[in-house]
Chains A and B, each alone.
Chain A
Amino acid sequence: AQSVAQPEDQVNVAEGNPLTVKCTYSVSGNPYLFWYVQYPNRGLQFLLKYITGDNLVKGSYGFEAEFNKSQTSFHLKKPSALVSDSALYFCAVRDMGSSNTGKLIFGQGTTLQVKP
């Protein structure tokens, strides 16, 4: 079965420090991976995606993610965290099942807290 795991419920980091939000996946075939951010009482905003090519994907707001096929991971990173980055982050993988429902399989989410 295809799945996504975000092993940390919460990540705490000081402003100005680098941040990493972890994501691992399990899919059959090539994975199509996405990161979204959700601010309080708001919808999900797309950050970046990996389809193919360069393993380091750059996205919105200075975020990037590194695809690692051998470790089946797609960790979200940012070199210098801002207090305004505090939010709920979701990793997702496209369901590659036989019926193309378009479904994204989401992890349970990781709350990022950036402290001044």
Chain B
Amino acid sequence: IAGITQAPTSQILAAGRRMTLRCTQDMRHNAMYWYRQDLGLGLRLIHYSNTAGTTGKGEVPDGYSVSRANTDDFPLTLASAVPSQTSVYFCASSLAGGYTDTQYFGPGTRLTVL
């Protein structure tokens, strides 16, 4: 089934631990994104990648890093998790990084940092 998969579905993590959220898409989209969703704030962009081999910072990048070694995968790493990173994380992709391109979202990862 074409689309975006994310893993894990949910995770409880102790503060200070390292965590990588995985995202894979099979639509051959060039652009990929990571957002976090917090109650009352909508979704905010963490990092993005317009094409394999390139990444950039979004609105709330601190404490997060990404890599884009190939077209399909875009993992998000929390080097040392803090409670304020408790959130629902969504990966998204679009055909290219153009202004009119539709972004398609994965099912999300619910992360709790204690």
Indicate whether A and B interact.
yes
Q: Chain A residues in contact with chain B, CB under 8 A? A: 4, 32, 34, 36, 42-46, 49, 51, 90, 92, 94, 96, 99-104, 106-109
On chain A, the residues within 8 Å of B33 by CB distance are: 102-103
Name the interface size band of chain B.
20 to 34
Check A104 against B99 for contact (C-beta < 8 Å): no
Q: Given A44-B90, A51-B100, A94-B100 in contact, is the A104-B45 Cβ separation under 8 Å?
A: yes
Determine the distance from Cα of A100 to Cα of B98 in the docked complex, in whole angstroms: 8
Q: Given A43-B107, A108-B42 in contact, is the A103-B48 Cβ separation under 8 Å?
A: yes
Determine the distance from Cα of A90 to Cα of B100 in the docked complex, in whole angstroms: 17
B53 at the interface (CB under 8 A from A): no
Q: Chain B residues in contact with chain A, CB under 8 A? A: 4, 31, 33, 40-45, 48, 50, 56-59, 90, 92, 94, 97, 99-108
Q: Given A45-B105, A101-B48, A101-B58 in contact, is the A107-B42 Cβ separation under 8 Å?
A: yes
Check B42 against A102 for contact (C-beta < 8 Å): no
